[in-house]
Amino acid sequence: MDATARFSRMRRSRLRPALGCPHSRRPEIIPKVPTSCPPGGGSFVVGVKLINSTSPKTPHTSTLMSSKSDYLLLFRGTTWQQELSPQEIEKTLSSFMNWFQELQDEGKIKGANPLERGGKLVSGPNGRSVVDGPFAESKEAIGGYFLISVEDEAEAIAIAQRCPLLERGNVVEVRPVAPQCPLAASLNHPLAELAHA
């Protein structure tokens, strides 16, 4: 890997929240040139090599990990449709459905649900405080979410940018799902435990 590529990969990784895991490793993705195109086209078979973020010269290898990352798309804003006409609602609905269907057909959706308005906020010691919220009127209220499986953050953002609700003033929050610490994962594996012992 040349220096520029590594730098850009490091920059990208910095966008992710700190995981607080001392064994934090980033997966390095090495695409294998496929000998034949898989049916349906699209997905490549990739091999993954783990490199330690502090000393990239001593890589562990693992073929168990997938190169895909999970991202959560949160659709914020639940009252914007109040201003729309029935015709506009119908139009937005059908573009949203097409968009969702496309992502599903591409196998990118791992989960997706709308959320009911309102709910409770539980806080305090022993969860003593239970109050209503967040209110639907708030701009932060979440109307629904997608859990998507994509190559990288750029792809997650590109998908979010196609959300038809953006046109109506909705905000899409793109959040990477933190992967399990790879070393911890291998330690949890019964065979790995034996190996380490």
The residues binding other proteins (CB under 8 A) are 78, 81-90, 92-94, 96-97, 100, 112-114, 143-144
Position 25, amino acid = R
Looking at the Cβ atoms of 112 and 183, the one nearer to other proteins is 112
We find the least distance from the C-beta atom of residue 97 to other proteins, in angstroms, to be: 5
Looking at the Cβ atoms of 86 and 125, the one nearer to other proteins is 86
We find the least distance from the C-beta atom of residue 178 to other proteins, in angstroms, to be: 25
Which region holds residue 167: left if phi is over 0, alpha if psi is between -120 and 50, else beta?
A: alpha
Looking at the Cβ atoms of 12 and 139, the one nearer to other proteins is 139
We find the least distance from the C-beta atom of residue 122 to other proteins, in angstroms, to be: 24
Looking at the Cβ atoms of 62 and 81, the one nearer to other proteins is 81
Give which of 65, 66, 53, 49 is closest to 21, Cα–Cα: 53
Question: CA-CA distance, 18 to 33, in Å (whole number)?
Answer: 33
By the 8 A CB rule, do 52 and 184 touch? no
User: Which is it for the CA torsion 59, 62, 63, 66, positive or negative?
Assistant: negative
Looking at the Cβ atoms of 84 and 154, the one nearer to other proteins is 84
We find the least distance from the C-beta atom of residue 138 to other proteins, in angstroms, to be: 16
Task: Give the pair of three-digit tokens for residue 133.
Answer: 């919220």
We find the least distance from the C-beta atom of residue 141 to other proteins, in angstroms, to be: 11
Name every residue whose Cβ is closer than 8 Å to that of residue 168 and which is 6 or more positions away in sequence: 80, 81, 84, 92
